[in-house]
Copies of this chain bind each other. A is one copy, B any other.
Amino acid sequence: MKALVVDDDRVLADIVSFTLRREGFQVVQAGDGEAALKRLAEEQPDIVILDVNLPKAVPALDGFTVCQRIREKSNIPVILLTVREDEDDIVYGFKVGADDYVLKPFSPRQLVARVQAVLRRVGASTEAHSKQAGSLSFDPDRREALVEGREPVSLTALESRLLEYLMLYPGHILTNQDLIDHIWGPGGGDRDMLRQLVRRLRMKIEPDPAQPSLIETVAGRGYGLRKTG
């Protein structure tokens, strides 16, 4: 299991690295955004721990931007480190695709817990996708959905999150609120947005969007993926 630690603060980076190594991780470091992207390509880590507060030496490459770049080209989970307790930061972090955040100061134990939690979650989700719900499969790297016997369709970030989450529980109905919370984060979405998102996803993956066969609706409750796709 390989981790990439991105932080300009050498001391903090060393603490994080030490903590992770003790847990059996192989660790690579980077001191700024540019180096991070370079080592990301070279090392292919399994997870990135990223300080949002990077030096301004390289303009326009703060933590959020780096996170965004990472997410554009891969699906490697990212955990953000932030001193600010400003909720905007966290929301923005999720917006650029972060998987979790840890507020500084943090205890080593806390960090390890988050890292393992995220890895477990990602592991779970890829497992689900490999299981292939019915005639559906999804490639999170390319963000492409594949319906049996048709061309692959590329999905947007939100569509991917929705599909991925639905595929975690094929045959089960997920509550509207549950989906909203998971896709947009707490307090970040409403039912209207969810409806539109489901609609767009259906347009892309349903053979006949007018009569959905993959994503089923339970009025007043939520949506789910049909098992007999």
Contacts and interface: CB of A to CB of B under 8 A. Distances in A.
A150 to B, nearest CB: 20
Interface string A29-73: 111100100010000000000000000000000000000000000
B187 A31 contact: yes
Contact of A12 (B117, B142, B185): B117
A114 to B, nearest CB: 8
Interface of A: 8, 10-15, 17-18, 21, 26-32, 35, 39, 83, 99-100, 104-105, 108-110, 112-114, 116-118, 120-121, 124, 141-143, 154, 156-157, 168-169, 172-173, 175, 177-178, 181-182, 185-187, 218, 220-221, 224
B13 A181 contact: yes
A149 B177 CA distance: 35
A187 B182 CA distance: 29
B10 A182 contact: yes
Copy total for this chain: 2
Which of A157, A186, A187 has the most chain B CB atoms closer than 10 A to its own CB? A186
Contact of A105 (B29, B113, B142): B113
Contact of A221 (B11, B31, B157): B157
Contacts of A108: 120
Contacts of A143: 218, 221
A177 B169 CA distance: 30
9 contacts: A10-B181, A10-B182, A14-B182, A15-B117, A21-B169, A26-B172, A32-B186, A35-B177, A105-B109
